[in-house]
Amino acid sequence: MLSFQVDGALTSGGQARTAVAGAESNVAVGLARLGHHVGWAGRLGADEPGRMILRTLRGEGVHVDHATTDPDAPTGSLMRERRVADLARVHYWRAGSAASRMQPPHVKSALAAGARLLHLTGITCALGPGPLESVRTAAGYAAEHGWTVSFDVNHRTRLWDTAAASAALRPLLGLIDIVIASDDELPLIAGEPGTPEHDRVAELLARGVREVVVKRGAQGADLYLRADQGVHTPAHPVPVADTVGAGDAFCAGYLSGVLDELSPEQRLHRATRTAAFAVATPGDWEGLPHRDELSLLDAAPGATVR
């Protein structure tokens, strides 16, 4: 999407800058910076915002050969207003966008190109029937061909309500290997109202999910490979500049650890460290680290690395 970042309230004349935003593209940039071969497949308008997005992703080393454009629909957009201290408000203009008109044939060439891992999010599913069916098609193809399928629930209440999200996302579970969700998103994909988190995790694992990763913000994250045994990693303490994009950064770090075949503890450590870079830097993805920068957080606060 094209993102307008407004410093203050728009109605009071807040100044805006343009940027590129999107959960999957944020993860793609994060993985590319960590040294992985990454491709992004989506649908954009045949317009200036679409060209800006493609140029930005190419510049970050993300392959966009299989991105498609729609000559009859615009690229989606959002506006993020910084309203009160560090509280931000996001407005979406995605109805009728090129992405909302995506259909399974639009991802066919990307799937045919092959991959080790396919990353999907609930945001695409929320854009309409075509995008949801495209996600189902991609997940089915990946599962059939032995790829690892990761899925970040990434619920957006301004795009759809919890009932619609739950009805759409739960049928995907038989195709997903890694579920990533914040603790308040787990009820969307497992259990009934009042079900304890332990039982929701157990249900996901029983339905074929291999790894359940629960993001807890400033409290860190937990990884469950078995319902009765979790691995916890605290968040890396950094000054908070902007929390938007932190979840996507976490996903990038975690999936990088999966691709590098790190241990569960090491995967979580890389995930929380990558998220810390995002939290400490303004912007959705601009502060994401390159692989050789991960160790910068080992330096003392305020230090200068020479």
Break the chain into its structural domains and give their ranges: 1-23+40-101
Active-site residue (options: 70, 152, 222, 248): 248
Give the relative orientation of helices 264-279 and 246-259 as an angle to the nearest 10 degrees: 150
Question: Which has more pLDDT, 163 or 11?
Answer: 163
Residue 5 phi/psi, 5-degree rounding, is -100, 110
Q: Identify the pLDDT of residue 93.
A: 93
Maximum CA extent, the chain: 54
Confidence of residue 168 (pLDDT cuts 50, 70, 90): very high
Q: What pLDDT was estimated at residue 207?
A: 95
- The string of pLDDT tens digits covering residues 216-243 is 999 999 999 998 889 999 999 998 888 8
Could you report the per-residue pLDDT of 192-207, keeping only the tens digit for each?
999 999 999 999 999 9
**Residue 305's pLDDT band (boundaries 50, 70, 90)?**
confident
| Three-state DSSP class for residue 297 | helix
Residues 6+ apart with CB under 8 A from 300: none
**Rounded to an integer, what distance in angstroms lies between the CA atom of residue 84 and that of residue 270?**
31
33-85 pLDDT per residue, tens? 999 999 999 999 999 999 999 999 999 999 999 999 999 999 999 998 887 76
CA 95, 122, 41, 217 dihedral sign is: positive
The pLDDT of residue 40 is: 98
In whole angstroms, give the CA distance from residue 75 to residue 91.
Answer: 15
Query: Are β-strands 178-182 and 117-121 bridged in parallel, bridged antiparallel, or unpaired?
Result: unpaired
One DSSP character per residue, 238-280 reads: ---S--TTHHHHHHHHHHHHHHTT--HHHHHHHHHHHHHHHHT
Global pTM reads 0.95
Residues 6+ apart with CB under 8 A from 107: 41, 66, 134, 137, 138
pLDDT tens, position by position, 257-269 = 999 999 999 999 9
Q: How far is CA 302 from CA 238, 241, 275, in A?
A: 11, 15, 19
pLDDT digits (tens, 9 = 90+) for 86-95: 778 888 999 9
In the structure, what pLDDT confidence band is assigned to residue 283 with cuts at 50, 70 and 90?
Answer: confident
Task: State in words which class domain 1-23+40-101 has.
Answer: alpha beta
Mean of the per-residue pLDDT values for the chain?
A: 94
65 is a catalytic site residue? no
Using left for φ > 0, alpha for ψ between -120 and 50, and beta otherwise, residue 82 falls in beta
